[in-house]
Structure 1
Amino acid sequence: MTYMMKDQGVRTELSYGELNIAGDETYGFRPYQLLVSSVAACSSSVFRKILEKQRVQLADMTTTAEVERNPDEANRIEKISLEYTVKGYDLDPEKLHKNMALARKNCSMVRSVEGSIEIEESLNIIQLSQ
C-alpha cells in the first residue's frame, strides 16, 4: 500500500476505493478508529463464519466496540471491549460461547494485538421464536 500526504493526513487507494486517514475526523478516519474497526470486523466475521459452518440459525448479529485509551501514553489504546448481540432460533448459549472463543483464536487482528491491547468479549443472546 502507498500513502500520499494531503493537507490534513494521508490517503491511499485500495481495491474498494479511496481511504482518507487523519487525526481530525472531519478530514478522514482517525487511526484508532481503523484499528478498533479492524479488530471488531475481523472478530465478527470469523465468528459468523464459524456459526454458519455449524448451521446455526442466525437472524442477525451486531458487534459493539468500546475503547479505553490512556491519555498519559499518547492516547494509546489499552482495551477494546466487544459485545456481540446474536439473534436467532434455537441458539445454544454454551455452543455460542465456545465458538466465540474459537473465533478469537482464529482472528488475525486480535492475534496481532495480543499482549499490547486487552480484548474483552461478551455475548448477548436473543432467542427468536419460529
Structure 2
Amino acid sequence: MLFKFKEEGIRVEVEYGILDISEDPYHGYKPEHLLVASIAGSSAKEFTDLLELHHTHVDDFFIRTEVKKDPKDDHKMTKIKLHFVVKGRNLNIDKLYRLLEQARQRCMISRALENSVEIDETLEIVSLR
C-alpha cells in the first residue's frame, strides 16, 4: 500500500477504493476507528465462517464496540470490547461461545494486538420465536 500525505491527512488507495485518514472527521476516518473496525470486521468474518462451517443458522448478528483509553495517556488504548449480539431460533449458547472463542484464535488482527491491548469479547443471544 502507498500512503500519500496531504494537508488534511493521509490518503491510501486500496483494492476497494480510496481511504482517507484524518483526525478531522470531515476529511477522513480516524485511525482508532479504523483499528476497531478492523478488529470487529475480522472477528465477524471468522465468526460467520465458523457458523457456516458448523451448520449453525442465525437470523442476524451485530457487534457493538467500546474503547477504553489510559486515563493518564489519552493516546493509548487499553481495552477494546466487542459485544456480539446474535439473533436466532433454537440457538445453542455453549456452541456459540465455543465458535466465538475459535473465531478469536483465527482473527489475525486480534492476535496481532493481544499482547498490547486487552480485547474482551462478550456474547448476547436474542431468541426469536
Q: Indicate the RMSD between aligned Cα atoms, in angstroms.
A: 1.1
* Distance across 2 between alignment mates of 1:115 and 1:12: 28
TM-superposed deviation, 1:71: 5.1
1:85 counterpart residue number: 85
Identity percentage of aligned residues: 36
Distance 2:105 2:42 in 1: 11
1:61-80 alignment, distance < 5 Å: 61-70=61-70, 72-80=72-80
Q: C-alpha distance in 2, partners of 1:36/1:29? A: 11
Q: What's the offset of the Cα at 1:76?
A: 1.2
How far residue 74 of structure 1 moved from its aligned partner, in angstroms, is: 4.8
What TM-score do the two structures reach when normalised by structure 1? 0.95
Show structure 1 runs of 4+ deviating over 4 A. none
- Measure the CA separation in 2 of the matches of 1:69 and 1:34: 16
Supply the distance in 2 between the matched residues of 1:21 and 1:81 (Cα, whole angstroms).
23
Instruction: List alignment gaps of at least 5 residues for structure 2.
Output: none
TM-score by length of 2: 0.95
Listed as ranges, the matches of 1:7-22 within 5 Å are 7-22=7-22
Q: CA deviation at 1:72?
A: 2.9
CA shift, 1:8, in A, is 1.1
Indicate conservation of the 8 Å contact 1:57/1:90, yes or no.
Answer: no
In the TM superposition, residue 46 of structure 1 has moved relative to its aligned partner by 0.4
Q: Using the TM superposition, give the Cα deviation of residue 73 of structure 1 relative to its aligned residue in structure 2, in angstroms.
A: 2.7
The 2-side partners of 1:8 and 1:70 are apart by 27
User: 1:67-94: per-residue Cα shift (whole Å, max 9, x none)?
Assistant: 0112533521110000000011210001
